[in-house]
Amino acid sequence: MMEIKKQEFTKPLIIAGPCSAESQEQLLTTAQGLEGKATIFRAGVWKPRTRPNSFEGVGEKALEWLKVIKQKTSLKVATEVANAQHVEACLKADIDVLWLGARTTVNPFYVQEIAESLRGVDINVMVKNPLHPELSLWMGAIERLNQVGLTQLSAIHRGFFTLEKSAFRNEPKWEIPIKLKRLIPDLPIICDPSHISGTPQMLGEVSQTAMDLNMDGLMIETHHNPSVALSDAQQQITPVELGLLLDNLILRTSTNTNTEFRTLLNKLRLEIDSIDKKLVDIVGQRTEIVREIGRYKKENAVTILQIERWFEILKSRKDWGEGSNLDPQMIGELFELIHKHSVLTQTHILSK
Protein backbone atom coordinates (compact mmCIF):
# COMPACT_ATOMS: atom_id res chain seq x y z
CA MET A 1 0.00 0.00 0.00
CA MET A 2 1.46 3.34 -1.06
CA GLU A 3 1.74 6.16 1.46
CA ILE A 4 0.84 9.42 -0.28
CA LYS A 5 0.83 12.55 1.86
CA LYS A 6 -2.27 14.69 1.44
CA GLN A 7 -1.10 17.95 -0.10
CA GLU A 8 -2.75 21.18 0.92
CA PHE A 9 -3.50 23.43 -2.03
CA THR A 10 -6.48 25.21 -3.49
CA LYS A 11 -7.90 23.42 -6.51
CA PRO A 12 -7.11 23.85 -9.25
CA LEU A 13 -3.37 24.06 -8.63
CA ILE A 14 -1.92 26.12 -11.47
CA ILE A 15 1.63 25.44 -12.64
CA ALA A 16 2.78 27.78 -15.40
CA GLY A 17 5.93 29.02 -17.06
CA PRO A 18 7.96 28.58 -20.24
CA CYS A 19 8.89 25.30 -21.83
CA SER A 20 12.57 26.26 -21.45
CA ALA A 21 14.56 28.66 -19.31
CA GLU A 22 16.23 30.88 -21.91
CA SER A 23 17.46 33.89 -19.92
CA GLN A 24 17.05 35.55 -16.54
CA GLU A 25 15.06 38.36 -18.15
CA GLN A 26 12.70 35.94 -19.90
CA LEU A 27 11.99 34.03 -16.69
CA LEU A 28 11.49 37.11 -14.53
CA THR A 29 9.23 38.89 -17.03
CA THR A 30 7.09 35.78 -17.43
CA ALA A 31 6.99 35.05 -13.69
CA GLN A 32 5.92 38.58 -12.82
CA GLY A 33 3.05 38.23 -15.29
CA LEU A 34 2.00 35.00 -13.59
CA GLU A 35 1.72 36.34 -10.04
CA GLY A 36 -1.86 36.00 -8.87
CA LYS A 37 -2.57 33.41 -11.58
CA ALA A 38 -0.21 30.52 -10.75
CA THR A 39 1.20 28.95 -7.61
CA ILE A 40 4.20 27.17 -9.12
CA PHE A 41 6.52 28.51 -11.83
CA ARG A 42 7.84 25.87 -14.21
CA ALA A 43 10.79 26.05 -16.60
CA GLY A 44 12.89 23.39 -18.30
CA VAL A 45 16.58 23.62 -17.42
CA TRP A 46 17.69 20.46 -19.21
CA LYS A 47 15.57 19.70 -22.28
CA PRO A 48 15.67 16.14 -23.66
CA ARG A 49 15.01 16.62 -27.37
CA THR A 50 14.07 13.97 -29.90
CA ARG A 51 16.87 14.99 -32.28
CA PRO A 52 20.26 16.62 -31.64
CA ASN A 53 21.18 20.19 -32.60
CA SER A 54 17.90 21.61 -31.31
CA PHE A 55 17.76 23.75 -28.18
CA GLU A 56 18.45 21.45 -25.22
CA GLY A 57 18.31 24.04 -22.44
CA VAL A 58 21.05 26.17 -20.92
CA GLY A 59 21.77 23.72 -18.13
CA GLU A 60 22.68 24.27 -14.51
CA LYS A 61 23.15 28.04 -14.68
CA ALA A 62 19.37 28.38 -15.17
CA LEU A 63 18.89 27.11 -11.61
CA GLU A 64 20.36 30.41 -10.40
CA TRP A 65 17.72 32.22 -12.46
CA LEU A 66 15.00 30.15 -10.79
CA LYS A 67 16.40 31.14 -7.38
CA VAL A 68 15.86 34.76 -8.38
CA ILE A 69 12.23 33.98 -9.24
CA LYS A 70 11.77 32.65 -5.70
CA GLN A 71 13.35 35.79 -4.24
CA LYS A 72 11.44 38.34 -6.33
CA THR A 73 7.99 36.72 -6.60
CA SER A 74 5.61 34.69 -4.45
CA LEU A 75 5.91 31.68 -6.76
CA LYS A 76 7.45 28.31 -5.97
CA VAL A 77 9.70 26.92 -8.72
CA ALA A 78 9.77 23.59 -10.54
CA THR A 79 11.93 21.91 -13.16
CA GLU A 80 12.43 18.55 -14.85
CA VAL A 81 15.14 16.09 -13.80
CA ALA A 82 16.36 13.11 -15.78
CA ASN A 83 19.28 11.76 -13.73
CA ALA A 84 20.96 11.86 -10.33
CA GLN A 85 23.22 14.78 -11.31
CA HIS A 86 20.17 16.91 -12.13
CA VAL A 87 18.63 16.01 -8.76
CA GLU A 88 21.77 16.94 -6.85
CA ALA A 89 22.02 20.32 -8.59
CA CYS A 90 18.32 21.07 -7.93
CA LEU A 91 18.57 20.19 -4.26
CA LYS A 92 21.57 22.51 -3.88
CA ALA A 93 19.61 25.29 -5.60
CA ASP A 94 16.60 24.74 -3.29
CA ILE A 95 14.17 23.99 -6.14
CA ASP A 96 10.71 23.37 -4.65
CA VAL A 97 9.25 20.83 -7.07
CA LEU A 98 10.84 18.29 -9.42
CA TRP A 99 9.15 16.41 -12.22
CA LEU A 100 10.06 13.37 -14.28
CA GLY A 101 9.36 13.74 -17.99
CA ALA A 102 7.65 11.21 -20.24
CA ARG A 103 10.96 9.99 -21.69
CA THR A 104 12.26 9.32 -18.17
CA THR A 105 9.13 7.63 -16.82
CA VAL A 106 9.35 5.08 -19.62
CA ASN A 107 12.70 3.74 -18.33
CA PRO A 108 12.74 2.02 -14.89
CA PHE A 109 16.56 2.33 -14.74
CA TYR A 110 16.36 6.13 -14.97
CA VAL A 111 13.52 6.28 -12.44
CA GLN A 112 15.38 4.08 -9.95
CA GLU A 113 18.53 6.23 -10.27
CA ILE A 114 16.51 9.35 -9.52
CA ALA A 115 14.69 7.63 -6.66
CA GLU A 116 17.96 6.58 -5.01
CA SER A 117 19.32 10.12 -5.31
CA LEU A 118 16.22 11.36 -3.45
CA ARG A 119 16.28 8.77 -0.67
CA GLY A 120 15.73 10.59 2.63
CA VAL A 121 14.62 13.84 0.94
CA ASP A 122 10.84 14.23 0.99
CA ILE A 123 10.56 16.83 -1.75
CA ASN A 124 7.50 17.33 -3.96
CA VAL A 125 7.93 15.16 -7.08
CA MET A 126 5.59 14.93 -10.06
CA VAL A 127 5.64 12.09 -12.58
CA LYS A 128 4.51 12.57 -16.16
CA ASN A 129 2.88 9.63 -17.91
CA PRO A 130 5.13 7.62 -20.25
CA LEU A 131 5.04 8.35 -23.98
CA HIS A 132 2.84 5.34 -24.69
CA PRO A 133 -0.36 4.38 -22.84
CA GLU A 134 1.18 1.91 -20.39
CA LEU A 135 -0.39 2.42 -16.99
CA SER A 136 1.97 -0.07 -15.34
CA LEU A 137 5.02 2.04 -16.28
CA TRP A 138 3.39 5.16 -14.89
CA MET A 139 2.44 3.42 -11.65
CA GLY A 140 5.82 1.72 -11.45
CA ALA A 141 7.66 5.05 -11.54
CA ILE A 142 5.45 6.43 -8.75
CA GLU A 143 5.96 3.27 -6.69
CA ARG A 144 9.75 3.39 -7.06
CA LEU A 145 9.79 6.95 -5.73
CA ASN A 146 7.42 6.07 -2.90
CA GLN A 147 9.55 3.09 -1.85
CA VAL A 148 12.53 5.35 -1.04
CA GLY A 149 10.37 7.47 1.26
CA LEU A 150 8.91 10.13 -1.04
CA THR A 151 5.30 10.87 -0.07
CA GLN A 152 4.68 14.27 -1.70
CA LEU A 153 3.93 12.69 -5.06
CA SER A 154 1.69 13.75 -7.93
CA ALA A 155 1.04 12.51 -11.44
CA ILE A 156 1.01 14.69 -14.56
CA HIS A 157 -1.25 13.62 -17.42
CA ARG A 158 0.31 14.96 -20.64
CA GLY A 159 -1.31 12.63 -23.16
CA PHE A 160 0.10 9.77 -25.22
CA PHE A 161 1.94 9.46 -28.53
CA THR A 162 -0.12 8.06 -31.38
CA LEU A 163 0.56 7.23 -35.03
CA GLU A 164 -3.10 7.74 -35.86
CA LYS A 165 -4.41 10.99 -37.29
CA SER A 166 -5.56 13.10 -34.36
CA ALA A 167 -6.66 16.61 -33.48
CA PHE A 168 -4.27 16.40 -30.52
CA ARG A 169 -0.50 16.52 -30.33
CA ASN A 170 -0.78 13.71 -27.78
CA GLU A 171 -3.98 11.70 -27.38
CA PRO A 172 -5.52 12.38 -23.95
CA LYS A 173 -6.93 8.86 -23.42
CA TRP A 174 -8.71 10.12 -20.32
CA GLU A 175 -9.56 6.58 -19.22
CA ILE A 176 -5.92 5.97 -18.21
CA PRO A 177 -5.55 8.78 -15.60
CA ILE A 178 -9.06 7.86 -14.39
CA LYS A 179 -7.88 4.29 -13.79
CA LEU A 180 -4.73 5.59 -12.08
CA LYS A 181 -6.93 7.63 -9.72
CA ARG A 182 -9.00 4.55 -8.94
CA LEU A 183 -5.87 2.54 -8.11
CA ILE A 184 -4.17 5.32 -6.08
CA PRO A 185 -7.07 7.47 -4.77
CA ASP A 186 -4.89 9.85 -2.71
CA LEU A 187 -2.59 10.70 -5.63
CA PRO A 188 -3.16 14.22 -7.03
CA ILE A 189 -3.35 14.27 -10.83
CA ILE A 190 -2.36 17.40 -12.73
CA CYS A 191 -3.31 17.79 -16.39
CA ASP A 192 -0.82 19.22 -18.91
CA PRO A 193 -3.11 20.66 -21.62
CA SER A 194 -0.14 22.18 -23.48
CA HIS A 195 1.33 18.82 -24.47
CA ILE A 196 -2.07 17.28 -25.12
CA SER A 197 -3.21 20.15 -27.34
CA GLY A 198 -0.03 21.18 -29.13
CA THR A 199 -1.69 24.50 -30.02
CA PRO A 200 -3.23 27.33 -27.97
CA GLN A 201 -6.59 26.91 -29.73
CA MET A 202 -7.44 23.69 -27.86
CA LEU A 203 -6.09 24.63 -24.44
CA GLY A 204 -9.41 25.86 -23.07
CA GLU A 205 -11.33 22.76 -24.17
CA VAL A 206 -8.74 20.33 -22.76
CA SER A 207 -8.42 22.32 -19.51
CA GLN A 208 -12.18 22.31 -19.03
CA THR A 209 -12.36 18.56 -19.62
CA ALA A 210 -9.64 18.04 -17.00
CA MET A 211 -11.61 20.11 -14.49
CA ASP A 212 -14.84 18.28 -15.32
CA LEU A 213 -13.00 15.01 -14.58
CA ASN A 214 -12.10 16.44 -11.15
CA MET A 215 -8.36 16.63 -11.77
CA ASP A 216 -6.37 18.56 -9.21
CA GLY A 217 -4.68 21.17 -11.37
CA LEU A 218 -3.21 22.30 -14.67
CA MET A 219 0.34 22.69 -15.97
CA ILE A 220 0.28 25.18 -18.86
CA GLU A 221 3.32 26.39 -20.77
CA THR A 222 3.43 30.18 -20.60
CA HIS A 223 5.98 32.58 -22.12
CA HIS A 224 6.02 36.38 -22.11
CA ASN A 225 6.60 36.28 -25.89
CA PRO A 226 5.85 32.82 -27.35
CA SER A 227 6.79 33.86 -30.89
CA VAL A 228 10.48 33.96 -29.93
CA ALA A 229 10.51 30.87 -27.67
CA LEU A 230 13.42 28.52 -28.33
CA SER A 231 11.34 25.37 -27.81
CA ASP A 232 7.64 24.46 -28.26
CA ALA A 233 6.83 28.01 -29.39
CA GLN A 234 3.65 26.78 -31.11
CA GLN A 235 1.98 25.62 -27.89
CA GLN A 236 2.85 28.39 -25.40
CA ILE A 237 0.61 31.29 -24.42
CA THR A 238 1.22 34.60 -22.66
CA PRO A 239 0.43 35.25 -18.99
CA VAL A 240 -2.47 37.48 -20.08
CA GLU A 241 -3.90 34.67 -22.23
CA LEU A 242 -3.50 32.27 -19.32
CA GLY A 243 -5.49 34.63 -17.11
CA LEU A 244 -8.33 34.70 -19.66
CA LEU A 245 -8.29 30.91 -19.94
CA LEU A 246 -8.52 30.51 -16.16
CA ASP A 247 -11.28 33.12 -15.90
CA ASN A 248 -13.35 31.16 -18.43
CA LEU A 249 -13.02 27.81 -16.66
CA ILE A 250 -16.19 26.44 -15.08
CA LEU A 251 -15.25 24.83 -11.76
CA ARG A 252 -17.78 22.26 -10.66
CA THR A 253 -18.04 20.52 -7.28
CA SER A 254 -17.79 16.75 -6.84
CA THR A 255 -20.80 16.71 -4.51
CA ASN A 256 -24.11 18.52 -4.14
CA THR A 257 -26.24 18.57 -0.98
CA ASN A 258 -29.44 19.61 -2.78
CA THR A 259 -32.02 16.95 -1.82
CA GLU A 260 -33.96 17.13 -5.09
CA PHE A 261 -30.76 16.79 -7.12
CA ARG A 262 -29.53 13.79 -5.11
CA THR A 263 -32.92 12.05 -5.29
CA LEU A 264 -33.09 12.38 -9.07
CA LEU A 265 -29.42 11.37 -9.46
CA ASN A 266 -29.95 8.22 -7.38
CA LYS A 267 -33.05 7.35 -9.42
CA LEU A 268 -31.12 7.66 -12.69
CA ARG A 269 -28.22 5.63 -11.26
CA LEU A 270 -30.62 2.83 -10.33
CA GLU A 271 -31.86 2.83 -13.93
CA ILE A 272 -28.24 2.56 -15.11
CA ASP A 273 -27.65 -0.35 -12.70
CA SER A 274 -30.69 -2.16 -14.09
CA ILE A 275 -29.56 -1.67 -17.70
CA ASP A 276 -25.99 -2.75 -16.85
CA LYS A 277 -27.33 -5.96 -15.28
CA LYS A 278 -29.15 -6.71 -18.54
CA LEU A 279 -25.97 -5.95 -20.49
CA VAL A 280 -23.97 -8.40 -18.38
CA ASP A 281 -26.64 -11.08 -18.87
CA ILE A 282 -26.62 -10.50 -22.64
CA VAL A 283 -22.80 -10.67 -22.79
CA GLY A 284 -23.02 -13.95 -20.85
CA GLN A 285 -25.50 -15.33 -23.43
CA ARG A 286 -23.26 -14.20 -26.26
CA THR A 287 -20.21 -15.83 -24.67
CA GLU A 288 -22.03 -19.16 -24.41
CA ILE A 289 -22.74 -19.01 -28.14
CA VAL A 290 -19.06 -18.15 -28.75
CA ARG A 291 -18.10 -21.31 -26.81
CA GLU A 292 -20.48 -23.37 -28.92
CA ILE A 293 -18.96 -21.95 -32.11
CA GLY A 294 -15.51 -22.76 -30.76
CA ARG A 295 -16.47 -26.38 -30.12
CA TYR A 296 -17.97 -26.60 -33.61
CA LYS A 297 -14.80 -25.16 -35.20
CA LYS A 298 -12.68 -27.65 -33.27
CA GLU A 299 -14.75 -30.60 -34.50
CA ASN A 300 -14.41 -29.39 -38.09
CA ALA A 301 -10.72 -28.27 -37.96
CA VAL A 302 -11.55 -24.65 -38.76
CA THR A 303 -9.38 -21.70 -37.68
CA ILE A 304 -10.55 -19.40 -34.91
CA LEU A 305 -10.06 -16.08 -36.71
CA GLN A 306 -12.39 -15.52 -39.64
CA ILE A 307 -11.21 -12.11 -40.81
CA GLU A 308 -14.06 -11.46 -43.26
CA ARG A 309 -16.60 -12.20 -40.54
CA TRP A 310 -14.77 -9.86 -38.14
CA PHE A 311 -14.82 -7.00 -40.67
CA GLU A 312 -18.52 -7.64 -41.25
CA ILE A 313 -19.21 -7.50 -37.48
CA LEU A 314 -17.23 -4.28 -37.03
CA LYS A 315 -18.98 -2.53 -39.92
CA SER A 316 -22.52 -3.65 -39.11
CA ARG A 317 -22.22 -2.79 -35.40
CA LYS A 318 -20.93 0.69 -36.20
CA ASP A 319 -23.84 1.13 -38.62
CA TRP A 320 -26.29 0.01 -35.92
CA GLY A 321 -24.66 2.37 -33.45
CA GLU A 322 -24.96 5.28 -35.86
CA GLY A 323 -28.68 4.57 -36.09
CA SER A 324 -28.86 4.94 -32.30
CA ASN A 325 -26.75 8.14 -32.36
CA LEU A 326 -23.74 6.41 -30.76
CA ASP A 327 -20.10 7.34 -31.35
CA PRO A 328 -18.61 4.92 -33.96
CA GLN A 329 -15.28 4.98 -32.12
CA MET A 330 -16.97 3.84 -28.91
CA ILE A 331 -18.79 1.04 -30.72
CA GLY A 332 -15.55 0.02 -32.44
CA GLU A 333 -13.63 -0.11 -29.16
CA LEU A 334 -16.47 -2.01 -27.46
CA PHE A 335 -16.63 -4.72 -30.10
CA GLU A 336 -12.85 -4.94 -30.43
CA LEU A 337 -12.80 -5.81 -26.71
CA ILE A 338 -15.65 -8.30 -27.11
CA HIS A 339 -13.94 -9.86 -30.13
CA LYS A 340 -10.61 -10.11 -28.31
CA HIS A 341 -12.20 -12.12 -25.50
CA SER A 342 -14.21 -14.20 -27.98
CA VAL A 343 -10.94 -15.21 -29.65
CA LEU A 344 -9.37 -16.02 -26.26
CA THR A 345 -12.42 -18.12 -25.32
CA GLN A 346 -12.24 -20.14 -28.54
CA THR A 347 -8.45 -20.46 -28.26
CA HIS A 348 -8.92 -22.07 -24.85
CA ILE A 349 -11.45 -24.53 -26.30
CA LEU A 350 -9.21 -25.51 -29.24
CA SER A 351 -6.21 -25.99 -26.96
CA LYS A 352 -7.93 -28.63 -24.82
Query: How do the domains of the chain map onto residue ranges?
Result: 13-248, 259-351
Q: How far apart are CA 315 and CA 317, in angstroms?
A: 6
3-state secondary structure (DSSP) of residue 288: helix
pLDDT of residue 351: 85
CA separation for the pair 217, 30 (Å, rounded): 20
Paired sense of beta strands 124-128 and 76-80, if any: unpaired
CB-based burial label for 315 (10 Å; 0-12, 13-18, 19+): exposed
- Summarised one tens digit per residue, pLDDT across range 307-344 is 999 999 999 999 999 999 999 999 999 999 999 999 99
Which numeric CATH code is attached to 259-351? 1.20.59.10
Tell me the whole-structure pTM to 2 decimals.
0.85
**In the predicted model, what is the mean pLDDT of the chain?**
94
Q: Which fold has domain 13-248?
A: TIM Barrel (3.20.20)
What is the Cα gyration radius of the chain? 24
**Low-confidence spans in the chain with pLDDT less than 70:** 49, 53
Query: For position 256, what pLDDT does the model report?
Result: 83
Q: Establish whether domains 13-248 and 259-351 are of one fold.
A: no
CA distances from 32 to 12, 37, 232 (A): 20, 10, 21
